[in-house]
């Protein structure tokens, strides 16, 4: 039996969903399926002999304009444009249910954030028209993460409070650690998926890095816009407010804006240095090492060497070819001791800081 979480909102597993789709339900009218495949045939693969009728309403892909947010940042998601975001269909007995299906695996490195907007909107709309069941396979991780995000947004709850509140309805909920981290980011971004925020940019880079390490193709269109080229329409208006920018020291070409910089906490790896200092007994004053000698940025479209697919390589100025830094998908250690993974590093000695 599904568990009631709030009025008109239930959580359950695949068995609950199958039962309702097959036999009908007194209260549930909408179903949000979060399974590794969006196809209704997943049910008959799960239990042979089970056949659930369905009639497609629409399919939406990650690259469709409908998935872009107001700032036109839809293409900034790490999902490839031809990836199915969700399918919407009539399903079940007498085709009476509206089912939205989102393809998501229960893995820590799975990109949950990029599905939240569509899922939360569906839950909200469904509750106005009837009652919604959110289900995954076991009713423990994926559905719980999405319902928790919904509670966070609608009731302004922290990630911890939302999970705790959800456990009062259903004791067994337990989103995987990767989902919990992403829910924390959702909270830090103000209960929305803000694709312009440094939190989201760092997340996106991590997803791209995971994809690279699994042998995925590097898609240069996912990189940040080249600040050295005339602004594209719909892109951030760089003249709006003067903010720091980085230029090639040799030719003055613009290579990064402040918004491209991914800050890190200096000295996260400090203990290594402490150990090294003691053992080496180096009499030199090493205090200057706590100062970062590099900045780290998101991958940008002028970094053509990155697109060639190597694990690591030089970053050279797109205009004068002066060497500006280095990139490494496995990470680079900053002079302060922190590891940045993946890393796109510009040496402070090779760039000048100015205002745009
Ligand atoms: Zn540093
Ligand atoms: Zn240059």
Convert the pLDDT of each residue in 133-145 to its tens digit. Answer: 999 999 999 999 9
pLDDT for res 273? 43
Nearest to 227 by CA among 80, 69, 348, 355: 355
The protein residues having their C-beta less than 5 angstroms from ligand 2 (an ion) are: 248, 250-251, 253, 317, 319-320, 322
The helix or strand, by DSSP H or E, that contains position 4, with its residue range, turns out to be strand 3-6
Ligand nearest to the CA of 250: 2
**How far apart are the CA of 294 and the centre of ligand 1, in A?**
7
Which is it for the CA torsion 150, 152, 156, 162, positive or negative? positive
**How far apart are the CA of 165 and the centre of ligand 2, in A?**
55
d(CA 311, CA 305): 10
pLDDT for res 240? 55
- Say what the pTM is: 0.82
Domains and CATH numbers, the chain: 3-66+77-189 (3.90.190.10), 200-227+242-274+291-355 (2.170.150)
Nearest to 261 by CA among 329, 336, 345, 356: 345
**How far apart are the CA of 182 and the centre of ligand 2, in A?**
38
pLDDT for res 277? 42
pLDDT for res 239? 53
**How far apart are the CA of 12 and the centre of ligand 1, in A?**
45
Strand order in the sheet with 351-355: 254-257, 244-248, 351-355
d(CA 313, CA 327): 6
pLDDT for res 243? 78
Residues of the chain below pLDDT 70: 65-75, 231-241, 268-290, 356
**How far apart are the CA of 325 and the centre of ligand 1, in A?**
14
Are 197 and 191 in contact, with CB atoms under 8 Å apart? no
Chain segment 65-98, per-residue pLDDT in tens: 654 444 444 457 888 888 999 999 999 999 999 9
The CA-based dihedral angle spanning residues 188, 189, 190, 192, taken in that order and rounded to the nearest 10 degrees: -130
Residues catalogued as catalytic: 136
The protein residues having their C-beta less than 5 angstroms from ligand 1 (an ion) are: 266, 292, 334, 336, 338
């Amino acid at each position: 039996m599904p568990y009631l979480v709030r009025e008109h909102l239930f959580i359950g597993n695949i068995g609950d969903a199958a039962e309702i789709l097959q036999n009908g339900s007194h209260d549930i009218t909408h179903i949000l399926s979060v399974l590794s495949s969006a196809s209704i045939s997943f049910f008959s693969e799960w239990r042979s002999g089970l056949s659930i009728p369905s009639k497609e309403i629409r399919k939406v892909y990650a690259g469709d304009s409908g998935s872009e947010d107001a700032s036109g940042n839809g293409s900034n998601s790490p999902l490839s444009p031809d990836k199915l975001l969700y399918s919407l269909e009539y399903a079940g007995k007498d085709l009476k249910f509206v089912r939205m299906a989102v393809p998501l695996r229960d893995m820590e490195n799975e990109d949950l954030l990029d599905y939240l907007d569509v899922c939360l909107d569906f839950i909200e709309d469904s509750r106005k028209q009837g009652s919604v069941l959110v289900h995954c396979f076991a009713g423990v991780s994926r559905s719980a993460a999405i319902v928790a995000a919904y509670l966070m947004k609608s009731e302004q709850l922290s990630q911890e409070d939302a999970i705790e509140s959800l456990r009062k309805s259903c004791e067994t909920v337990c989103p995987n650690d990767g989902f919990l981290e992403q829910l924390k980011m959702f909270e830090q971004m103000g209960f929305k998926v803000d694709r312009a925020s440094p939190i989201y940019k760092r997340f996106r880079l991590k997803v791209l890095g995971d994809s690279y390490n699994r042998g995925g193709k590097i898609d240069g269109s996912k990189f940040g816009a080249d600040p050295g080229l005339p602004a594209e329409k719909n892109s951030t208006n760089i003249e709006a407010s003067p903010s720091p920018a980085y230029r090639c020291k040799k030719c003055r070409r613009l290579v990064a804006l402040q918004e491209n910089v991914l800050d890190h906490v200096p000295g996260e790896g400090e203990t290594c240095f402490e150990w090294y200092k003691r053992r080496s007994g180096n009499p030199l004053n090493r205090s200057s090492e706590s100062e970062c000698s590099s900045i780290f940025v998101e991958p940008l479209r002028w970094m053509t060497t990155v697109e060639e697919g190597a694990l690591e390589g030089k970053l050279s100025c797109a205009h004068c070819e002066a060497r500006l830094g280095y990139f490494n998908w496995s990470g680079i250690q900053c002079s302060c001791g922190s590891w940045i993974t993946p890393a796109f590093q510009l040496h402070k000695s090779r760039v000048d800081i100015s205002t745009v």
